[in-house]
Amino acid sequence: MDRREFLGLVAWGATSLALGKLDYSSLSSVRSRSYAAMEELPPGSIRPEGWLRGELEKQAKELGSQLPHVSWPFNEPYWKSKEPPTGFWWPWEQVAYWVDGAVRLALALGDQGLMHQVRQAVDQTLLRIDWDGYIGPSAFKEPKDDFHRWPHAIFFRALTALADAGAGKAIPEALTEHYLLDPADYGKPTRNVTNIESILWCFAKSGDPRLLSKAEEAWKEYLTVAKDPEHGDLSMERVEGITPINAHGVTYVETAKQPAILYSYTGKKEYLKFALDAQERIFKHHMLIDGIPSTSEWYRGVGALDSHETCDISDHTWSWGYLLMATGDGVWADRIERGIFNAGMGAIKKDWKAVQYFSCPNQVIATLDSDHNAMAHGGRMMAFQPNPGQRTACCGGNVHRMLPNYALRMWMRTAEGGLAATLLGPSTVQTKVGEKGTPVTIRQKTDYPFEETIRFEISVTSPVAFEFLIRVPKWCKSPEILFNNEVIFPLVRNGFAVLNREFKEGDVVALRLPMALKVSEWPDRGVGVEHGPLVYSLPIEAKWTSISESPYSTASYPSWNATPAGPWNYALVDASLATIERKSMSNDPWASPPVSLHLRGRRIEGWEMEVNSAHPEQRFTPKLPAEGGELGAEESIRLIPYGATHLRVTIFPRA
């Protein structure tokens, strides 16, 4: 293909998407990962509905589209120009996060206005490809510095999503040419190896064996570098030993998923074992109650004040999606849901106008000087801001990938050509199944995770036999499945109920997931309360003070200080006696949750916010109190889902 033909194809793809002329229903997934148990459907095949659509639309209306009008670096021409104000790698990374998130958000919603906005960066990048195929900023063309190919790995995700949605063949050919001709070393240093993700995507599209070889050689070289903890702490010895992780959270998890992707294309079990062992280290040593490991910035402990960077919420759940596809094991979907429903929704202001850089199970204050983490003690990382961390703007961009990726991976194609309901929630999927590629539409009708019942309403043009997998979460001990109102007992394989039969128009499969109360134990005699996929917290009434003077805020999108305006210092009397209250589902359940738990608590005298003696006006969320504090009288307290809170107590002392 010559350059003129290529540019014409780019223009065709941009115009088609901008005008909404693509027929998503006609797209069918072509199996390209021959060893993976599952594969994503093309973006546009899945329509989010109910509370999920409402949340995505709110995101798109607010920071999802407005961030480029609020703050640096999103208001600068990164990826729109090859020569913006600075050549440092981090603004390119941060804007690439937003581009990828906004592309996927637009695809999930069919939002043509947002697509037009974000395609400016995409199209300008593609129209400025160098004569030798290099894509991206001029400052990074000659390989140098630790992160010279990391921003590419992020930005190229947006390109692959557009191509998978049907934006012509220009993008796959351009990325293939870039990778085959690029002299950069992808095995080192640091995050360059994360490009394996896109290199193998190109291999799936082109079948060029040089790409597979390039990916495997990069991983082989990386393992020789990984013996140095500065490069991700992914040495073979430490991974196989399931030791605690001594590494930066984003670097580790973005790298640790690469062998799972390599397994999906090669079938080499040593790759999959490495990936599973690397994840097991996270779950054994670093997981917080809200479903995301402590990563502030490096992996930490599992206490009430251990925190996670919002980037790690997006990146861990994204990475676990590759483990789900490689293994077909529903436990990875369980982990994605838990992380997003709790940690993810708990890190954002519910109007989608601000987000935290660090968030954690117990946060009774969130201001511009209340960060209790050692990495930025006394700093602004806990405050709710449109661009949290400000010059460290990664979370402001990366948060926009979280919910769109959840929506786009709710349904997947199985290795046998069937269909799997992987992530539960209100949605409709349109695809083709069976030997003849029969069109099928399945509506997942539910208010999950706020209710226990999910209905799958099936519509087909003619009866068709196919394998239909429905995930049964591991936390549910007594699930019930009905087919056209009759109880059935299908085979359950790897956390999925397997319905292998002929389906006809109007068939309904109902899944009931009774949610049991669980009391979990945490360090310092702490206890937490869980119910199904949701973790419950004491919501603390907040006094909000806006701060718009910062150059990273505006009057419409200010930074916010949140200070407690109500009691919070409770110990739980007996969490196992909690009762659940349900009310009608609201249009905005994360702002007005339809479920809550009622239980008894006693206030602890002397458990108060930590005060900086040198600056008494500066306060921090305190540790759990030592045993023996004086207790007040019993009183009724109400807990709500963690994701519905801003200030909260989630890990309680025992009374």
DSSP string, 482-537: EETTEEE--EEETTEEEEEEEE-TT-EEEEE----EEEEEETTTEEEEEETTEEEE
Q: Name which of 216-220, 363-367, 573-577 the model is least confident about.
A: 573-577
- The answer on 487 and 526 residing in a single domain is no
Q: Is residue 242 part of a domain?
A: no
Each residue's pLDDT tens digit, 406-440: 999 999 999 989 999 999 999 999 999 998 999 99
Q: Can you give the residue range of the structural domain that contains 503? A: 412-512
- The answer on 600 and 461 residing in a single domain is no
Domain edge (last residue) among 150, 166, 184? 184
- Residue 196's H or E segment, with its range, is helix 196-206
Residues 187, 181 contacting (CB under 8 angstroms): no
- The answer on 528 and 501 residing in a single domain is no
- The answer on 533 and 505 residing in a single domain is no
Single-letter code of the amino acid located at 246 = N
- The answer on 522 and 485 residing in a single domain is no
2 Cβ contact list (under 8 Å, min separation 6): none
Q: Is residue 328 part of a domain?
A: no
Q: Is residue 499 part of a domain?
A: yes
Confidence of residue 7 (pLDDT cuts 50, 70, 90): very low
| Rounded average pLDDT over 7-35 | 44
pTM for this one?
A: 0.95
116 Cβ contact list (under 8 Å, min separation 6): 18
Confidence of residue 374 (pLDDT cuts 50, 70, 90): confident
Q: Is residue 255 part of a domain?
A: no
Rounded distance between C-alpha atoms, residue 626 and residue 646, angstroms: 25
Select the more confidently predicted residue: 21 or 178: 178
Q: Is residue 127 part of a domain?
A: yes
| Rounded average pLDDT over 165-188 | 92
Q: Assign residue 473 the CATH number of its domain.
A: 2.60.40.1180
Q: Is residue 636 part of a domain?
A: yes
- The answer on 159 and 84 residing in a single domain is yes
Each residue's pLDDT tens digit, 346-358: 999 999 999 999 9
Residues 103, 158 contacting (CB under 8 angstroms): yes
Collapsing DSSP states into helix, strand and coil, what is residue 136? coil
Residues 535, 290 contacting (CB under 8 angstroms): yes
- The answer on 642 and 543 residing in a single domain is yes
- The answer on 13 and 148 residing in a single domain is yes
Residue 622 is given by DSSP the state P
pLDDT at residue 8 is higher than 50: no
Q: Which pLDDT belongs to residue 11?
A: 41
Domain edge (last residue) among 161, 184, 207? 184
Domain edge (last residue) among 184, 214, 234? 184
- The answer on 57 and 168 residing in a single domain is yes
Collapsing DSSP states into helix, strand and coil, what is residue 633? strand
Q: Is residue 351 part of a domain?
A: no
Q: Is residue 85 part of a domain?
A: yes
| Rounded average pLDDT over 574-584 | 93
Q: Which pLDDT belongs to residue 402?
A: 98
| Rounded average pLDDT over 218-227 | 86
- The answer on 542 and 613 residing in a single domain is yes
- The answer on 505 and 524 residing in a single domain is no
pLDDT at residue 636 is higher than 90: yes
The number of domains in the chain is 3
Tokens coding 358:
């660090």
- The answer on 161 and 13 residing in a single domain is yes
Closest CA to 243 of 136, 252, 251: 252
Tokens coding 578:
């909690």
Each residue's pLDDT tens digit, 123-158: 999 999 999 999 999 988 987 766 789 999 999 999
Let me know if 517 is exposed, middle or buried by CB neighbors in 10 A (0-12, 13-18, 19+): middle
Collapsing DSSP states into helix, strand and coil, what is residue 249? helix
Rounded to the nearest 5°, which phi and psi values hold at 487? -65, 135
Rounded distance between C-alpha atoms, residue 185 and residue 188, angstroms: 6
Q: Facing residues of 145 across strands?
A: none
Q: Which pLDDT belongs to residue 237?
A: 79
